[in-house]
A = this chain, B = another copy of it.
């Protein structure tokens, strides 16, 4: 049966279904046929809209990163919160939550999804670095931060935060996380060149 739809509608349908499947079954475990069955289209239609399964992945990741960046942006502009806390919260909030469901995020990283992870890291760094550059510049101007390589430091912090909050690259036990988070915060402080302990109230959340 042939049902014709307007291009953008069809495209969004494919993206929605694919995202749901990638996130629940994993990227590699999801076949193009799985997607076809649910969207109820033929293979040729799929490849009319996307050149490859990977292109679908890239589009989805762009959406996910954009959603995270929007949350981070909101947090960073609330000047009533101390700067260093805003930065930390922005990094945490940027992590994909998928409508608040933690279970789905866990699924995302349980499975073997090297491609998804790598593409996500790359895209996220590109999108988030400029946001944090502004925030760090604010801290430098206010004499809160003291550092010589802001751009490199931001990239490092984002990368480490990603490994910590989003990534399955280290197979840590739940019990190890408090130490990992405290270590991350301590090193973030040192790299930014803040007076030590500036983040103390934050640290107590993980004590």
Number of copies of this protein chain within its complex? 2
Q: Which of A171-207 contact B (CB under 8 A)?
A: 179-180, 182-184, 186-187, 190-191, 193
Mark interface residues in A140-182 (1 if CB within 8 Å of B CB, else 0).
Answer: 0000000111011101100110010000011000000001101
Q: Which of A91-114 contact B (CB under 8 A)?
A: 114
**Do A153 and B114 have beta carbons less than 8 Å apart?**
no
Q: Within the complex, what minimum Cβ distance (angstroms) separates A176 from chain B?
A: 9
User: Which B-chain residue is minimally distant from A171 (CB atoms)?
Assistant: B122
Interface of A is mostly: helix
**Do B160 and A156 have beta carbons less than 8 Å apart?**
yes
From B115, B117, B151, A183 is in contact (CB under 8 Å) with B151
Q: Within the complex, what minimum Cβ distance (angstroms) separates A74 from chain B?
A: 26
- Give chain B residues whose Cβ lies under 8 Å from the Cβ of A118: 114, 117-118, 169
Does A125 interact with chain B (Cβ within 8 Å)? yes
Does A30 interact with chain B (Cβ within 8 Å)? no
Does A121 interact with chain B (Cβ within 8 Å)? yes
Q: Within the complex, what minimum Cβ distance (angstroms) separates A130 from chain B?
A: 15
**Do B149 and A183 have beta carbons less than 8 Å apart?**
yes
User: Which B-chain residue is minimally distant from A184 (CB atoms)?
Assistant: B152
**Do B115 and A187 have beta carbons less than 8 Å apart?**
no
Mark interface residues in A113-136 (1 if CB within 8 Å of B CB, else 0).
Answer: 011011101100100000000000
Binding site for B on A (CB under 8 A): 114-115, 117-119, 121-122, 125, 147-149, 151-153, 155-156, 159-160, 163, 169-170, 179-180, 182-184, 186-187, 190-191, 193
